[in-house]
Amino acid sequence: KAKIFLPCAFCFLPSIPYPMTQPLIGIIMGSDSDLPTMQGAIAVCKDFGVAVEVAIVSAHRTPERMMEYAKSAHERGIKVIIAGAGGAAHLPGMVASVTPLPVIGVPVPSRHLQGVDSLYSIVQMPAGIPVATVAIGNATNAGLLAVQIIATHEIEFLKKVQNYRQKLCESVMEKQAKLDQ
Ligand code: RP5
């Protein structure tokens, strides 16, 4: 396993090579096998210049670590938590039950049920404890939603979200122009 690079007792993945300030988004996952999926969220945060902390926190294998992470995240200045898990994917819901922060759940594709199990597990939260659930494997949207939540009170990120949308629109128009040729 990689060593600790970030100023966070929970992070033991390599730090991301962009200027790290106060991490605002916590990206956690149940296993290192979830990392390829969760890279989508990490990449978005990197692109938008939002500092993150990344950690493996399993609801089943490290329940005490999970509780400690969820209880302390807001005290470390984290504003949003993105939690990815597959199969019996309890991590996002359990973390949401403990933290006052918004939690975005990423259903990770699973070996036998392709992530339908993860989706049902994450999305079916009882009233009172919400988890904003994205599509199976769509950590990119989790990253974007987290950045948009941060952007509600950070004008710098609001402008970046607007620019991103503009580029998205332009890319479609470029494709249309090619079709029209
Ligand atoms: C879940 O079990 C993890 O989120 C992962 O998606 C799944 C399988 O974990 P590994 O057996 O690959 O470590 O807790």
- Residue with CA closest to ligand 1 atom 3: 30
Is residue 38 one of the residues assigned to a domain? yes
Say if 19 falls within a structural domain: no
Q: What integer pLDDT is reported at residue 21 of this predicted model?
A: 81
Residue 150 has a pLDDT of 96
Confirm if 29 and 85 have CB atoms less than 8 A apart.
yes
Ligand 1 atom with minimal separation from the 29 CA: 4
Q: Is 4 a member of any domain?
A: no
Structural domain boundaries, residue 33: 25-180
Q: What's the structural domain count of the chain?
A: 1
Residue 41, token pair as written in the block: 């969220």
Output the residue whose Cα is nearest ligand 1's atom 6.
86
Q: Which atom of ligand 1 is nearest to the CA of 111?
A: 8
- The burial of 28, by beta-carbon neighbours within 10 Å (0-12 exposed, 13-18 middle, 19 or more buried), is given as buried
User: 172: which 2 tokens?
Assistant: 């479609």
Q: Of all protein residues, whose CA lies closest to atom 2 belonging to ligand 1?
A: 86
Let me know if residue 122 belongs to a domain.
yes
pTM of the model: 0.90
CATH code of the domain in which 136 resides: 3.40.50.1970
Give the residue ranges of the annotated binding site for substrate. 31, 34, 61
Pocket of ligand 1 (CB under 6 A): 30-31, 33-34, 58, 60, 85-87, 108
- Burial annotation 120-144 (CB, 10 A radius, 16+ → b, else e): ebbbebeeeeebbbbebbbbbbbbb
| Nearest-atom index, ligand 1, CA of 60 | 14
Rounded average pLDDT per 10-residue block, the chain, 181 residues: 42 46 94 97 96 96 97 96 98 98 98 97 98 98 98 94 96 96 93
User: What pLDDT was estimated at residue 102?
Assistant: 98
